[in-house]
């Protein structure tokens, strides 16, 4: 099994469609491959208008848990392909005619294909790279019913990233944009864009066992145009900033990542539920 010395592109999973497996790092050799399982959870019963909390007499709430199966294949060090398949469990209480009504849905969501392209540069103990990633989100999720998993649109994404590290310090920056297509049943979800930043330390690494730890801090800012009134998915327009700690532990070809992010700022375009805190745990392996 090949070694995993250094994480060239270890990044946040704050935006579920912006980043790539395995933990935004992939094998650096031709015909290498890897996969990961990642679970993430968010939700709350906090109702907001703009950036202010408002009363919630109907008990409105929303909680979403997604388990991702993600894989990567490297044609060579600079060109790779990725596949991400989500399984979604979503539950909410929504308002219908002034009454709180419970809804839930589970199943496969929209599958994401991407082609990450990277350009590496090494100078002494410093490693850096630029990344350019076009993505395609396919409407594989259910788009019917009162609480659909997808709006049924074909969507295109683009990400520009930069990573820099030496034996002690790690930095990662990612700017992304998603263009939403026309959905089914007259549903329309707004375009979105944002930036993710990871900065932290690589305080320990053992050459003998290829084992180490990263301690990072994540900042994720996201803007989403509001969906139209026919949209029944979890999409909601507005701005939000999440931030929090990230712990990564690796040994040889196995990686484990855990992160917790809380809401630092949130502004809804209309009345809406806060996204709440985000928790994510991932286990990945490369070959």
Q: Across residues 257-268, what is the average pLDDT?
A: 96
Query: What CA–CA distance (Å, rounded) separates 238 from 235?
Result: 10
Specify the pLDDT at position 6: 35
Alpha-carbon gap, residue 138 to 153, rounded angstroms: 7
Separate counts of helices (H) and strands (E) for the chain: 0, 16
Cα 284 to Cα 255: distance, rounded to the nearest angstrom: 5
36 burial (CB, 10 Å; 0-12 / 13-18 / 19+) is buried
The predicted pLDDT at position 2 comes to 37
* Residues in a beta bridge with 218: 198, 244
Give me the pLDDT at residue 12, please: 34
DSSP symbol at 141: S
pLDDT of residue 165: 92
**pTM, rounded to two decimals:** 0.90
Q: What 3-state class would DSSP assign to 55? A: coil
| Three-state secondary-structure class, residue 247 | strand
Q: Quickly state the pLDDT bin for 91 (edges 50, 70, 90).
A: very high
- List, in sequence order, every beta strand (DSSP E) within 138-230: 155-165, 169-179, 192-206, 211-224
Q: Who wins on pLDDT, 44 or 23? A: 44
Question: At which residue do the structure tokens 């590290």 appear?
Answer: 165
Please give the torsion angle defined by the CA atoms of residues 222, 225, 231 and 233, in that order, rounded to the nearest 10 degrees: 0
Residue-wise pLDDT tens digits, 11-43: 333 345 456 788 776 677 788 999 999 999 999
Asked if the model's pLDDT at residue 172 lies above 60, the reply is: yes
Question: Is the model's pLDDT at 7 over the cut of 50?
Answer: no
Cα first-last separation, the chain: 6
pLDDT single digits (tens) 194-246:
999 999 999 999 989 889 999 999 999 999 999 999 999 999 899 999 999 99
- Return the C-alpha torsion angle 95, 68, 28, 261, nearest 10: 50
Q: What beta strand segments (E) does 109-168 contain?
A: 112-114, 117-123, 126-137, 155-165
pLDDT band at 54 (very low <50, low <70, confident <90, very high): very high
130 vs 119: CA distance, rounded Å: 5
State the residue for tokens 């959905």.
183
Backbone angles phi, psi at 210, to 5 degrees: 50, 50
Instruction: Give the pLDDT score at 113.
Output: 96
Percent of the chain with pLDDT over 90: 79
Query: CA-CA distance, 172 to 195, in Å (whole number)?
Result: 11
Backbone angles phi, psi at 184, to 5 degrees: -85, 165
Per-residue pLDDT, 4: 36
Report the percent of the chain where pLDDT is more than 70.
92
In the predicted model, is pLDDT for residue 9 greater than 60? no
Specify the pairing of strand 211-224 against strand 117-123: unpaired
Domains, the chain, with CATH or none: 33-286 (2.40.160.40)
């Amino acid at each position: 099994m090949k070694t995993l010395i250094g994480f060239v592109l270890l990044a946040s999973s704050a935006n579920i469609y912006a980043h790539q497996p395995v933990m935004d790092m992939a094998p650096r050799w031709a015909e290498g491959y890897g996969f990961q399982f990642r679970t993430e959870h968010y939700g709350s019963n906090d109702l907001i208008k703009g950036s202010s909390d408002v009363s919630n007499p109907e008990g409105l709430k929303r909680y979403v848990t997604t388990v991702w199966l993600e894989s990567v294949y490297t044609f060579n060090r600079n060109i790779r392909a990725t596949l991400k398949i989500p399984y979604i469990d979503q539950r909410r209480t929504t308002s219908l005619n002034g009454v709180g009504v419970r809804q839930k849905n589970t199943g496969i969501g929209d599958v994401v294909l991407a082609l990450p392209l990277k350009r590496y540069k090494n100078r002494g103990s410093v490693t850096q790279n630029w990344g350019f990633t076009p993505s395609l989100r396919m409407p594989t999720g259910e788009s019917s019913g009162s609480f659909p998993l997808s709006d049924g649109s074909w969507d295109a994404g683009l990400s520009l990233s930069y990573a820099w590290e030496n034996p002690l310090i790690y930095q990662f920056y990612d700017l992304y944009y998603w263009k939403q297509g026309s959905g089914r049943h007259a549903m329309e979800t707004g375009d979105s864009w944002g930036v993710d930043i990871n900065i932290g330390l690589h305080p320990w690494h053992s050459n003998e066992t290829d084992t180490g730890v990263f301690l990072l801090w994540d900042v994720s800012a996201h803007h989403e145009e509001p969906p139209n009134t026919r949209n029944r998915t979890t999409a909601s327009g507005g701005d939000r900033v999440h931030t929090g700690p990230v712990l990564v532990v690796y040994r040889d070809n196995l990686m484990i990542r855990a992160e917790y992010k809380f809401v630092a700022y949130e502004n809804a375009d209309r009345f809406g539920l806060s996204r709440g805190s985000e928790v994510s745990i991932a286990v990945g392996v490369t070959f």
